Amino acid sequence: MFNSKASIFVLLLITFCACKTDQVQKQTKQEDSFTLPFEVKENSFMMKMQSEAMESPYEGIFTSEGKEENLFPIQSTGVSTQAIKEAADAFIQSLSATQNAKTLFPIEDEEWRKWSNVDNGIFARQGISILELNQEQRVLAFKLLQEALSAKGLQLSKDIMKTDQTLREFNDDNPVFDEDLYFFTIMGEPSMTKPWGWQIDGHHLVINYFVLGDQIVMTPTFMGGEPIITTTGKYKGNTIFQDEQNLGLALVNSLSAEQQEAAILSSEKKNHNAKAEAFSDNFTLEYEGIPGSDLTETQKASLLHLTEQYIANMRAGHAKVKMEEIEEHFDKTYFAWIGKTDEDAVFYYRIHSPVVLIEFDHQRPVGVNVRNEKGASRNHIHTVVRTPNGNDYGKDLLRQHLEEHHH
């Protein structure tokens, strides 16, 4: 009797394992055979921009005076990156061999620089998209974002993704707009001592995240959206970038007439004023506008508060470290403005110092068709954060590490 029961149990166990294996094989096959639900027709102008940008090795953004040295030493921040590493490890381990081949790149790979904020129909992205992940893998992908970003940064990232669903609704269910078409790549091997990092790349959301020990560089970061305020559909009520917009306008209006004369470069706002978006890793940008040293104490606090809206997308400990770095160079931090200053104005502003470059730019409507609206709109915003003087993508830290370890 015992042998009979044992035999039945073994047969049931074998059958269960076989079914489970078959399910895993079918799921893996489906994951590995993923294709985008549309044809990518790469924009020739954009591909030319990328090709020309890749011809030159990364150098960075400088003023005409050249690189300011010794701004980014390798040092301990005292803020652990252990949880970020563990989240990245778990995500990598959840991927199939084929998915890993799409996702993993060497630490010095040019993949870092091959990002753009444009929609998916005209730009081919590398990596693995959220769309092709199973539920467990999606949870782990967002766990990586959760550990790497602040609660504010994570929520803003999710809200930006939601705007693509709204654009899909506005554009006859066009599959190039999809809240899950955001692509992850990981550069290097997650480590507590060696350099590594990750990137998420998609329409209106690009984060480059470099890690060395307990140091972090979260630039270039591009965040934007259209529509800015969603009034219909699945995500009705979704609203982004109001603090970045309104605090900037309040700051320029707090300036005296003499201060505004220094800060405002032009009262005429064009469709596009941003300088440091995709494929703009190497260029000269002079300090313009009013320096922090010419602001009152109240205005200085306002400029730092505005700056913090962008830096606070990082996890709290590292955001504090970055803000301290920015404050050290505050007298050489310049605030520049383009556009009107009335209550409903559309505008561009820039915060620029040796250690940070931030741009906010109202754009013309693109995905949301608005009759008779040809100029810049408050319903389409681009923002970008950079690290000038050669440390985007953590490149200056990486250079020092490789020199120290004779690679």
Per-residue pLDDT of the chain (407 residues; tens, 9 = 90+): 445 555 554 455 455 544 444 544 444 444 567 888 888 888 888 888 898 999 999 999 999 999 999 999 999 999 999 999 999 999 999 999 999 999 999 999 999 999 999 989 889 999 999 999 999 999 999 999 999 999 999 999 999 999 999 999 999 999 999 999 999 999 999 999 999 999 999 999 999 999 999 999 999 999 999 999 999 999 999 999 999 999 999 999 999 999 999 999 999 998 899 999 999 999 999 999 999 999 999 999 999 999 999 999 999 999 999 999 999 999 999 999 999 999 999 999 999 999 999 999 999 999 887 655 678 999 999 999 999 999 999 999 999 999 998 75
Together in a domain, 149 and 201: yes
- What's the angle, vertex CA 304, arms to CA 386 and CA 272, rounded to 5? 45
- What's the angle, vertex CA 125, arms to CA 124 and CA 128, rounded to 5? 135
- Residue 13: inside a domain, yes or no? no
- Return d(Cα 72, Cα 277) in angstroms, integer: 22
Return the sign of the alpha-carbon dihedral for residues 167, 170, 173, 176.
Answer: negative
Of 176, 191, 223, the domain-final residue = 223
pTM for the model: 0.91
Amino acid at 331: D
- Residue 218: inside a domain, yes or no? yes
- Residue 33: inside a domain, yes or no? no
DSSP 8-state code for residue 227: S
For strand 104-105 and strand 182-187, is the pairing parallel, antiparallel, or unpaired? parallel
Please answer whether residues 355 and 71 qualify as being in contact, where contact means their C-beta atoms are separated by less than 8 angstroms.
Answer: yes
- Residue 355: inside a domain, yes or no? yes
Residue 372 has a pLDDT of: 56
- Return d(Cα 390, Cα 398) in angstroms, integer: 11
Please answer whether residues 166 and 178 qualify as being in contact, where contact means their C-beta atoms are separated by less than 8 angstroms.
Answer: no
Domain boundaries, position 96: 44-223
Kindly report the length of the chain: 407
Bond before 220 cis per omega within 30 degrees: yes
Residue 21 has a pLDDT of: 46
Please answer whether residues 192 and 81 qualify as being in contact, where contact means their C-beta atoms are separated by less than 8 angstroms.
Answer: yes
In 30-131, the DSSP E strands lie at 61-62, 104-105, 128-129
- Return d(Cα 2, Cα 113) in angstroms, integer: 65
- Residue 38: inside a domain, yes or no? no
Residue 357 has a pLDDT of: 98
Amino acid at 99: Q
Maximum separation of any 2 CA atoms in the chain, in Å:
99
Together in a domain, 271 and 370: yes
Together in a domain, 217 and 266: no
Together in a domain, 214 and 255: no
In 68-195, the DSSP E strands lie at 104-105, 128-129, 182-187
Residue 192 has a pLDDT of: 97
H or E element at residue 4: helix 2-32
- Return d(Cα 407, Cα 400) in angstroms, integer: 10
Together in a domain, 87 and 201: yes
- Return d(Cα 111, Cα 342) in angstroms, integer: 42
Please answer whether residues 144 and 200 qualify as being in contact, where contact means their C-beta atoms are separated by less than 8 angstroms.
Answer: no
Count of structural domains, the chain? 2
- Residue 131: inside a domain, yes or no? yes
Distance of CA 313 to the CA centre of its chain: 10
Together in a domain, 72 and 182: yes
Together in a domain, 85 and 167: yes
Q: Which distant-in-sequence residues (6+ apart) come within 8 Å of 293 by Cβ?
A: 330, 331, 332
Q: Is 221 exposed, middle or buried (0-12, 13-18, 19+ CB in 10 A)?
A: buried
Of 174, 194, 223, the domain-final residue = 223
Of 223, 258, 285, the domain-final residue = 223
- Residue 8: inside a domain, yes or no? no
Together in a domain, 145 and 190: yes
Together in a domain, 69 and 218: yes
Together in a domain, 72 and 207: yes
Together in a domain, 274 and 207: no
Together in a domain, 260 and 136: no
- Return d(Cα 378, Cα 54) in angstroms, integer: 33
Give the pair of three-digit tokens for residue 260.
């505004």
